[in-house]
Amino acid sequence: MSGALRIGSRGSKLALIQSAWVRAELMRLHPDLRVEIDVIQTKGDKLLDAPLAKLGDKGLFTKELETAMLDGRTDLAVHSAKDMPTEVPEGLVIVAFTAREDVRDVFVGGASCSLSSLDELPRGATVGTSSLRRRSQLLALRPDLDIVDIRGNVQTRLRKLEEQGMAGTILAAAGLARLEQPELAAFAFAFHQMLPAVGQGSLAIEARAGDARVAGLVTPLIHERTALAVRAERSLMHALEGGCQVPIAGFARVTETPDRQGVDRLVLRAFVGSVDGTKAVRGELEGPAQAPEGLGMALADDLLAQGADRILAEVRGAA
């Protein structure tokens, strides 16, 4: 298939690696296709000194990429799925969720870090993270820890760890894998300790609604099981009126074996907590994999019945 395709990408090393992977896959699938990457800075990339929770999260890492598509400057955008707001602007649509990398969060320590579990962190140790989701779950496990805001790429965060004498920070295993630096992880958190962000580990490819050419080119990159899981997670987040800067976590997976009727099953787990980790509600629900949005809404209702609405109201009131 001939013709050029323009990908909008953030300019960070990780974002460019992700966009380059999509570019390479599209060119492999369509040898006659020319694919270009346009680097576009987002608000979240420009304001690195402010805590994410203070910036607001409506399109913090996506708005400028979406504007470029709506203006016709680019044809698609590659996002980390966890950065995608649950509401996509009119005229755009997510055309693919790619296969997930490791969805877990990992602890990354300083140069001399030799920890193998959270229990080995000294009492009162300082840990850097700008994520309220991570802060909440971490303090629920270790209320003695001192949590401070830290932002920037992996190299910047590692430098800040040393400069500020922090014990470590928390990153997504998927990001380290794509950067080919998995060895930086001292240990991974189990799901009962820390659930990941909604969509974590997958890439979301966004394009103009009704652009059949782009949708057709991208279709082979869709990973069906991941798409079902992320749709359930995003439905949960949407029902809770959450965003990437509220302490909500969700992780879904398609079970290994179907039920007796041969229908695939989807299991969704979720967490909502206060910023200081003193309040939390958790839930888990299983349902047919082909109805992921219904599963997400049902689990959201369960969490709200447990008090998630009061917790989130307190978080928003303090923002």
Instruction: List residues with catalytic annotation.
Output: 83
Cβ density class 270-307: b for 16+ within 10 Å, e for less: bbbbbbebebbbbbebebbbebbeebbbbbbbbbbeee
Structure tokens given for 290: 């082909």
| DSSP code, position 62 | T
Half-sphere exposure of 130 (CA within 13 A, CB side): 19
For residue 269, give the 3-state DSSP assignment: strand
Assess contact for 77 and 65: CB atoms under 8 A: yes
**For tokens 């044809």, what's the residue?**
75
| Per-position DSSP letters for 93-128, written without gaps between them | EEEEEPPP----EEEEE-TT----SGGGSPTT-EEE
Determine how many CB atoms are found less than 10 A away from the CB of residue 130: 22
DSSP H helices in 131-280: 132-141, 154-164, 173-178, 212-218, 224-239
